[in-house]
Amino acid sequence: MNLHEYQGKSILTKYGVAIQRGVVVEKVEDAVAAAKKLTEETGTSWYVVKAQIHAGGRGKGLVAETGSNGVVLAKGIDHVEEKVKGILGGHLETAQTNGKGKLVSKVLLAEDVYYPGESEVSEFYMSVLLDREKGRNVIMYSTEGGMDIETVSENTPHLIFKEEIDPKVGIQGFQARKIAFNLGLSGEAFKQMTKFVVNLYSAYEGCDAAMFEINPVLKTSDNKIIAVDAKVTLDGNSLFRHPDYAAMRDFTEEDPTEVEADAAGLNFVKLDGNVACMVNGAGLAMATMDIIKLSGGNPANFLDVGGTANAERVEKAFHIILKDPNVKAILINIFGGIVRCDRVAQGVVDAYKNMGSIPVPIIVRLQGTNAVEAKKLIDESGLNVHSAVLLQEASDKVKAVLA
């Protein structure tokens, strides 16, 4: 589950990780009051206005309505309202929003942390994530902060370091020191960085995160180490332990059809193609999408209906699939093992009849327990449903209905 920057920062704060402080603003008219409050708390006189959406590249992104960037600086309280107005309520398009602008319903008004002082400011990169191969969490960090880490990894891979954490003992002091030394720090900044690293890792474990990306981590001119941004992804499987974090889920960031499917217990991902599918099992569902492509179509979705493909679930799945006007055909692919194919076939027929009519052809491939009875049930239903037993037959029938 992805969090907004302001939500991620609230978790970091709980674990003693220093952050660039800010106030969330939802209405333009609240902006100036929020700025005054922030000045009282932090002493800042400049303000950074940051769009809160689930996508990176906000600084370079553009708000469609106003041409403003997604992260802008207001040099003084007199400019705050105008800058907030340029972002809030607009649609922000970034390199990661796939050509569609995302509605900005909140901005974070944050303190300026790049103020001049006794030393130069420097930006670092730091993330915590799972190394799947090793089965351990790693801290990945670099002196090249503030940039896209994929670019750093392509151009200067030797500037990216990894520190593996032993799950038996957690992060150790020597590891935090190694990181701070590798980042070229000394004196007070070194001390602050070791604290930052230890607290950041504790936060990662404590909130059962799947990924932390802090870019940049900033050394300020007065040698503080703070998280200027926070991209936090939580492990969805752990949310039962964290009801307060589960409540942070922002449904407006998700596809409404996916939200509806999720509520119905269906594992659904919306795609851009013209042939929908309904499958039992995630691996077979992906394989079915691939079959659609090989048959000359493009998958309109991923949908795993799970082990109980009864009439109620099938009908719900039909409703969700048919919300997409691009769908020209539906391929149902069920391998009946424990679940009997004739039951699934009956479910399809009942759901079809309940819905009155379905405007696109349906190909039903049922294989496994009672496949023959299932095929007969479909064939004798008199509905616009084509039956298949072998996967290859199903593929050929998709080809035929698309032709």
Partner 1 sequence: MGVLVSKDSRVIVQGFTGSEGTFHASQMIEYGTNVVGGVTPGKGGSTHLDKPVFNTVVDAVNATKADVSIIFVPPAFAADAIMEAANAGIKVIVCITEGIPVNDMVKAKEYIKGYDTRLIGPNCPGVITAGEAKVGIMPGFVFKKGKIGIVSKSGTLTYEAADQVAKAGLGITTAIGIGGDPIIGTTTKEAVELLMNDPETEGIIMIGEIGGNLEAIAARWIKENGTKPVVGFIAGETAPAGRTMGHAGAIVGGHDDTAQAKKRIMRECGIHVVDSPAEIGKKMAEVIGVLA
Which residues are part of the catalytic machinery?
A: 125, 213
DSSP readout, 348-365? HHHHHHHHS--SS-EEEE
One of 67, 283, 359, 382 touching partner 1 (CB under 8 A): 283
Residue 237 within binding range of partner 1, rule CB under 8 A: yes
d(CA 18, CA 193): 10
Residue ranges in 248-267 that form contacts with partner 1 under rule CB under 8 A: 267
Residue 233 within binding range of partner 1, rule CB under 8 A: no
Say if residue 109 is exposed, middle or buried (CB neighbours under 10 Å; 0-12, 13-18, 19+).
buried
Tell the smallest beta-carbon distance from residue 267 to partner 1 (Å): 5
- Binding segment toward partner 1, per CB under 8 A, in 61-69, 182-190, 216-224, 235-243: 235-243
d(CA 347, CA 126): 51
Q: What is the H or E stretch that residue 397 is in?
A: helix 391-402
Distance, C-alpha 204 to centroid of its chain: 17
d(CA 143, CA 123): 7
Size of the site for partner 1 (CB under 8 A): 53
- Binding segment toward partner 1, per CB under 8 A, in 155-163, 176-184, 214-222, 273-281: 273-281
Residue 15 within binding range of partner 1, rule CB under 8 A: no
One of 279, 317, 321, 398 touching partner 1 (CB under 8 A): 279
Position 41: which residue type?
A: E
User: Beta-carbon neighbour count of residue 63 at 10 Å?
Assistant: 21
Residue 374 within binding range of partner 1, rule CB under 8 A: no
Say if residue 325 is exposed, middle or buried (CB neighbours under 10 Å; 0-12, 13-18, 19+).
exposed
Judged by beta carbon, residue 283 or residue 356, the one nearer partner 1 is: 283
Residue 205 within binding range of partner 1, rule CB under 8 A: yes
Residue 335 within binding range of partner 1, rule CB under 8 A: yes
Judged by beta carbon, residue 115 or residue 302, the one nearer partner 1 is: 302
d(CA 166, CA 151): 29
225: which residues sit within 8 A by CB, 6+ positions away?
18, 189, 192, 193, 195, 196, 217, 218, 219
One of 208, 350, 373, 379 touching partner 1 (CB under 8 A): 208
Judged by beta carbon, residue 33 or residue 282, the one nearer partner 1 is: 282
Residue 16 within binding range of partner 1, rule CB under 8 A: no
What is the DSSP pairing of strand 122-131 with strand 209-219? antiparallel
- Binding segment toward partner 1, per CB under 8 A, in 4-12, 70-78, 135-143, 322-330: 135-143
CB 214 within 8 A of CB 126: yes
- Binding segment toward partner 1, per CB under 8 A, in 67-75, 87-95, 107-115, 297-305: 297-305
Q: Contact positions toward partner 1, by CB under 8 A? A: 130, 132-133, 135-137, 166-168, 205, 208, 210, 235-238, 240-241, 267, 269, 271, 273, 279-294, 298-299, 302, 304, 335-338, 367-369, 390-392, 395
